A and B are shown apart, each in its own frame.
Chain A
């Protein structure tokens, strides 16, 4: 059931891309993330699992500093990407976010055309030299987002007019159009049917060759299928972190075991 064969084949997999040290997150007085330490590998897929409200999204949002936009939110501790502290004063969050793309929990396409949704990122980062370039990026991203066939005839229709699942794939396509090095995905498949889910998982697997992917999911099967490492969060604590195969077959912590066997959640 768990594709262990894939692991260990990639040379880069064990080099650390993101490392978090003693990360604490507070929303006002609420202590949402408690002392999390984690090393996330380059060119691999890391899954965050855990019951609702345990802080998966919060921690994910720390990695591209999206929490900066929430006034009451305070982050302590260090998060390093490629050895550089992203909470350093010299770091511009805008530059960081170009490097760390994100797919949000709720699909949030721009109220613009499908084409413009994808083209926006490349445009502001100057990734396309001309219209033909941009067209190509748009097509490529939509294909990788597993939505090209559904929208190729209506690229200039509004993105908000798509179905929920289509919108989510559009957002995935939008996030990869800027070629980030790290891709954070917050429950990207929660609104998708099994076929689209399979396509997105295929995409994640492909992205692994280039990027470091962090995915939040409520589906154990999905975590097992796509990830090499899994982190289990519970009430703001990182309870257990390790190889996916090990977490699912031989969890060390009692809470992990109850969660994956469906006893808490």
Chain B
């Protein structure tokens, strides 16, 4: 056998390394085929991702800009504060109906000044403004009563049809049956754009503002829902992290390995697979019906999401603890450390990156969770007021980002639909930043050793 594989004495080898034998060829072919499949799989995945991102961005970016009409409004004392005392109580008695004429007047004046020639009546001109204009003006006057009598420049929202016209959603053909806007008004809008009175700009209120009722999609923002989500995440973090980590440390390091802990272990894994709506109905039954916590409150939402996040945190924490080599525990015990010292001084620091990653990913999941919020009344609630204190933030009814998105997507007006996509962009930005943070933290900690 040995002499077969060896070159003979004349020095001519039996086989050449420069020629591939059939076996090697087949192996190499299989390998290239496998690589090809892999690349195809990745390309399919990438294509889906790109489609998703493209759809979201193309549909959602519109929500971040809004059409505004700029005008000079004279805050007539005769209309707003007849007594002239600047008494806030009396000023507050003037309703938005009292402010509407001021806006109409100001708008008409502005149109004349810019030399815009139109057949529209003042009433129809003012219709291109958002219904929120009067309340915006009223809010300003109540906040600054000393400005009564002066002429101030205001930027009022245009109504959603006009906004849609500027964004290409509304056209002269599409409004044939629309009672809210006429072709003549659109002509007027074109004139206003030419005069620079009306323009589409970035709208910070979409990000920081409150939700609005069905008639005013142009005024709706996701800010309050964002605060709702923030408070829920605080509750989840404050409860799920300590409970989850403590439970995992106990189970992994201290608990005896017997059938009871086996059952607990299996059940925790099962819990992770329980549909979130089940946690929602549990929250409704326990936190609201039995414990009488307020409905729609971020505290309740946070409690429900805590139940949901706990298994995720426990599973990832246990995995992180398991990954710490047992020799480290032996080393610590060997120099006379107690079990607890071994865990807290040596095991936990090594497991920290894994725990952190698990926690952040659990939080990100909770942030995007919608179904359980349905049952505790956070969906369908119009989040119109910013909470003023932490207690109010936790207990007063609010919405959450995914709930708000769902709510908008459900409403009839296409202007809300656009906002739903805009909301998704914001939600995704949050999720991506959280996941990035998880990656960065993990890298950071890992590099220490």
- Nearest CB of A to B372, in Å: 38
Closest residue of B by beta carbon distance from A94:
B338
| Cα-based distance from A106 to B334 in the complex (angstroms) | 13
Q: CB-defined interface of A102-121 with B at 8 Å, one 1/0 digit per residue?
A: 10101011110000000011
B123 contacts A by Cβ under 8 Å? no
* Residues in A whose Cβ lies below 8 Å from that of B350: 111
Find the residue from B256, B325, B449 having the highest chain A CB count within 10 A.
Answer: B449
- Nearest CB of B to A9, in Å: 31
B333 contacts A by Cβ under 8 Å? yes
| Cα-based distance from A12 to B380 in the complex (angstroms) | 85
* Residues in B whose Cβ lies below 8 Å from that of A104: 327, 330-331, 334
Find the residue from B335, B341, B350 having the highest chain A CB count within 10 A.
Answer: B335
Q: Are A125 and B336 in touch, CB under 8 angstroms?
A: yes
B138 contacts A by Cβ under 8 Å? no
A13 contacts B by Cβ under 8 Å? no
* Residues in B whose Cβ lies below 8 Å from that of A101: 334-336
* Residues in B whose Cβ lies below 8 Å from that of A108: 325, 327-328, 330-331
* Residues in A whose Cβ lies below 8 Å from that of B106: none
B432 contacts A by Cβ under 8 Å? no
- Nearest CB of A to B232, in Å: 36
Partner of B334, one of A66, A158, A160: A66
- Nearest CB of A to B350, in Å: 6
Given known contacts A106-B327, A111-B449, is B332 in contact with A175 (CB within 8 Å)?
Answer: no
| Cα-based distance from A178 to B332 in the complex (angstroms) | 12
| Cα-based distance from A69 to B449 in the complex (angstroms) | 26
| Cα-based distance from A104 to B328 in the complex (angstroms) | 11
Q: CB-defined interface of B320-347 with A at 8 Å, one 1/0 digit per residue?
A: 0000010111111111111101000110
Given known contacts A69-B329, A71-B257, A104-B327, is B334 in contact with A64 (CB within 8 Å)?
Answer: yes
| Cα-based distance from A64 to B334 in the complex (angstroms) | 8
| Cα-based distance from A108 to B345 in the complex (angstroms) | 15
Q: Are B331 and A121 in touch, CB under 8 angstroms?
A: no
* Residues in B whose Cβ lies below 8 Å from that of A109: 331
| Cα-based distance from A211 to B346 in the complex (angstroms) | 28
Residues 107 to 140 of chain A near chain B (Cβ within 8 Å) = 108-111, 120-121, 124-125
Q: CB-defined interface of B368-409 with A at 8 Å, one 1/0 digit per residue?
A: 000000000000000000000000000000000000000000
Chain A: interface residue total (CB-CB under 8 A):
28
Partner of B335, one of A69, A71, A106, A121: A121
Given known contacts A120-B345, A160-B449, is B331 in contact with A110 (CB within 8 Å)?
Answer: yes
Partner of B336, one of A69, A98, A111, A160: A98
Chain B: interface residue total (CB-CB under 8 A):
21
Q: Are A66 and B333 in touch, CB under 8 angstroms?
A: yes
A97 contacts B by Cβ under 8 Å? yes
Q: Are B328 and A178 in touch, CB under 8 angstroms?
A: no
- Nearest CB of A to B253, in Å: 10
- Nearest CB of A to B213, in Å: 59
A43 contacts B by Cβ under 8 Å? no
Closest residue of A by beta carbon distance from B257:
A71
Q: CB-defined interface of B248-267 with A at 8 Å, one 1/0 digit per residue?
A: 00000000110000000000
Q: CB-defined interface of A76-103 with B at 8 Å, one 1/0 digit per residue?
A: 0000000000000000001101110110
| Cα-based distance from A66 to B329 in the complex (angstroms) | 11
Q: CB-defined interface of B236-252 with A at 8 Å, one 1/0 digit per residue?
A: 00000000000000000
| Cα-based distance from A104 to B336 in the complex (angstroms) | 14
* Residues in A whose Cβ lies below 8 Å from that of B338: 94
- Nearest CB of A to B255, in Å: 11
* Residues in A whose Cβ lies below 8 Å from that of B346: 110
| Cα-based distance from A169 to B325 in the complex (angstroms) | 20
Q: Are A110 and B332 in touch, CB under 8 angstroms?
A: yes
Q: Are A178 and B330 in touch, CB under 8 angstroms?
A: no
Closest residue of B by beta carbon distance from A108:
B327
Partner of A110, one of B328, B339, B341: B328
Partner of A124, one of B256, B327, B334, B337: B337
- Nearest CB of B to A172, in Å: 12
| Cα-based distance from A94 to B328 in the complex (angstroms) | 16
Q: Are A111 and B333 in touch, CB under 8 angstroms?
A: no
| Cα-based distance from A98 to B333 in the complex (angstroms) | 9
| Cα-based distance from A109 to B333 in the complex (angstroms) | 12
A174 contacts B by Cβ under 8 Å? yes
Q: Are B336 and A124 in touch, CB under 8 angstroms?
A: yes
A204 contacts B by Cβ under 8 Å? no
Q: Are A111 and B341 in touch, CB under 8 angstroms?
A: no
Closest residue of A by beta carbon distance from B256:
A71
Given known contacts A104-B330, A120-B345, is B335 in contact with A174 (CB within 8 Å)?
Answer: yes
A171 contacts B by Cβ under 8 Å? yes
Q: Are A97 and B335 in touch, CB under 8 angstroms?
A: yes
- Nearest CB of A to B120, in Å: 77
Partner of A178, one of B327, B336, B341: B336
| Cα-based distance from A69 to B253 in the complex (angstroms) | 10
| Cα-based distance from A111 to B361 in the complex (angstroms) | 26
Q: CB-defined interface of A40-71 with B at 8 Å, one 1/0 digit per residue?
A: 00000000000000000000000010100101
- Nearest CB of A to B354, in Å: 14
- Nearest CB of A to B323, in Å: 13
* Residues in A whose Cβ lies below 8 Å from that of B335: 97-98, 101, 120-121, 124, 174-175, 177-178
- Nearest CB of B to A184, in Å: 9
Taking A71-B256, A111-B449 as given, write out 19 further A-B residue pairs in contact, using a Cβ cutoff of 8 Å, ordered by the A residue number.
Answer: A64-B334, A69-B333, A71-B257, A99-B336, A101-B334, A101-B336, A108-B325, A110-B332, A110-B346, A111-B328, A120-B335, A120-B337, A121-B335, A121-B337, A124-B341, A125-B336, A171-B331, A175-B334, A175-B335
Interface residues of B (CB under 8 A from A): 256-257, 325, 327-339, 341, 345-346, 350, 449
A-B contact pairs, 19 of them (CB 8 A): A64-B334, A69-B329, A69-B333, A94-B339, A97-B334, A97-B335, A101-B336, A102-B334, A108-B331, A110-B331, A111-B449, A120-B335, A120-B345, A121-B337, A124-B341, A125-B336, A171-B331, A174-B331, A178-B336
A-B pairs, top 8 by smallest CB distance, nearest first, are A98-B336, A108-B327, A121-B335, A111-B449, A102-B334, A108-B331, A97-B336, A94-B338
